[in-house]
Amino acid sequence: MSASSLRSFEYLEGLPGTTFNRLYKQPSTALAIFRRMLPHLAKSFVMALLYISHPMPVTDLEAWVRPDGRRERDNAVNLLERLHILAAATNPGKPRAYALTNPFAASLRLALTGGGNHHSFGVPYSTSEEDTMSITDLDEFARRQWEGVLGYMVGSTGMNIASEGVTLSQGVKILLASGRLVEARGKTVDITKDGFAFILQEVNAQVWTMLILYLQNAESLNMDEVDVLAFLFMLGSLELGLPYSKANLTQTQANMLEDLGDFGIVYQASPDSSYFYPTRLATTLTSDAGGLRSSSFASPADNNRGFIVIETNYRVYAYTSSNLQIAILQLFARLITRYPNMVAGKVTRESIRRAVSMGITSDQIISYLTTHAHPQMAKNQPVLPPTVVDQIRLWQLEGDRMKATVGFLFKDFNSQAEFQAPCRYAEEIGVLVWKHEGQRKFFVTRHEQVAAYLRNKSGKGG
Amino acid sequence: MPKAVKGVLVECDPSIKAIILKIDQAKHDYIVEDLDDQTLVVKESQLQRLKARLEEELSNTQQMPDDSASD
């Protein structure tokens, strides 16, 4: 599962149940959650339960999964419950049973089999020939806008980035600042730790991060969160290169179009035109394909190609003239010379330590170098020289004297037996980080499942 | 009745842990639970500050090898 969907998960899980209830009224939302957010096993459960009208006893559900797949099953069921897709029907006297929650099931059925008058998948608009935008035009527009945003963020690293005529609206700048991706210091902006991590992510993850920021800000702008989310999920189901009508959008959603235009997520000829185009950034939001990688999104000259060569002596050559790419490279490498079509530099202990102290991890650097490796480099197996990869990791470790894991400590167990059962359970579902038999304490990354297990246990025991 | 406490599990070398204990000694505002030689639980809100303090302590006591400036 990609980082981007993890990020959107965390956000979604934090929403109250009533919000889900309203969200799932839109078939496009139900379908988007289903196809993008669920692992395969969870999808199978949903499909199997979709046309069953009465709750399915837990034992039957368990029978579908082989005993050795228990962990996957528990994870799937747990996720479905957290997303309010599956709910346990509590009939006293009867065994526990699961059923799909209603707006979700009804909407998904509508989405899969069609019908209804919901306009939830957008209403196509017919334009006259000369007004149509080609897919290349849309890609170019999206790239320019998005690079404008990134350029604004790294603009403070000392490189002067010519923003290619993109002027960022005040709204975008405020959004970046409120998400703590940049910090305004008087007239200039400084990029923050989170900002650096953000820059090195792939585009789809960046878009999601930005949209979640937008959502969190929506309420302070008097926008309805559900309206905003439903619109985003709808955008994900539109087709690239087709214009869509604005007629059936709510006021909030019409306002959003303008903001999303600043990011290059949608295109509209002017704020009062009666149609809009989704760009590739929008249509890949909820698809599994992930379509658009940051490498293919580099400046048109570097089209789709990797451009970085790194040698075993830590020297880096980057065949690019894009100021944005150079600025990004400069985050973790010491650049020495610049030629019209290439920059040369070196990865040093100091430059990596600086990057790490800004919050960039060695893994991010390595994955950036790998995905942007020059085609000649990409032929190698492994792509990057192992010595360089190891050294970058070691340089980071040098600064990381301790390993920190956020989570929960369980303690004060009365007996060894009482301690062992939940501890083993935590290990099975893969959340256990540390345990100590003698002290009867253990540490987990998530407590919900373990707490539920303990409650069940004490319920049964007496 | 078992209890759950929120925090950050920190795993490190005994020597690093000794420094953390020393930092905590002043006000006791970092550590939630001292588990063993190499593990302890600290407050989530204090983690960044603890890291900074640790870095500070280390740079006072250790000399980092120099970067070769040759290119």
Please, what is the average pLDDT of chain B? 82
Whole-number pLDDT of residue A389: 93
Contacts of A422 in chain B (CB under 8 A): 2
Whole-number pLDDT of residue A392: 92
**Which of A402, A431, A436, A443 best tests the B interface by mutation, with the highest count of B CBs <10 A?**
A402
The model's pTM: 0.65
Q: What is the pLDDT of residues A406-436, one digit of tens each?
A: 899 998 888 888 888 888 888 888 888 888 8
Q: What is the pLDDT of residues A218-243, one digit of tens each?
A: 877 778 888 888 888 888 888 888 88
Between A271 and A366, the higher pLDDT residue = A366
Amino acid at A388: V
Nearest chain A residue to B33 by CA: give it. A409
Confidence check: pLDDT of A377 > 50: yes
Query: Which residues, at least 6 apart from A272, have a Cβ–Cβ distance to it below 8 Å?
Result: none
Q: Which helix (H) or strand (E) holds B23?
A: helix B14-25
B5 and A404 within 8 Å at the Cβ level: the answer is no
Least confident range from A113-122, A291-300, A381-390: namely: A291-300
**Strand-pair partners of B6:** A408
Confidence check: pLDDT of A303 > 70: no
Contacts of B12 in chain A (CB under 8 A): 401-403
Contacts of A405 in chain B (CB under 8 A): 8-9, 11
Determine the distance in angstroms separating the CA of A327 from the nearest CA of chain B, rounded to an integer: 21
Please, what is the average pLDDT of chain A? 81
B16 and A406 within 8 Å at the Cβ level: the answer is no
Whole-number pLDDT of residue A162: 47
Q: Touching check for A417 and chain B: CB below 8 Å? A: no
Which tokens sit at A223? Answer: 């926008």
Percent of chain A topping pLDDT 70: 87
Whole-number pLDDT of residue A28: 86
Contacts of A403 in chain B (CB under 8 A): 10-12
Confidence check: pLDDT of A4 > 70: no
Residue B1 contacts residue A395 (beta carbons within 8 Å): no
Whole-number pLDDT of residue A301: 36
Q: What is the pLDDT of residues A124-172, one digit of tens each?
A: 777 665 567 788 888 888 888 888 888 888 764 444 444 445 667 777 8
The arithmetic mean of pLDDT across residues A72-77, rounded, is 87
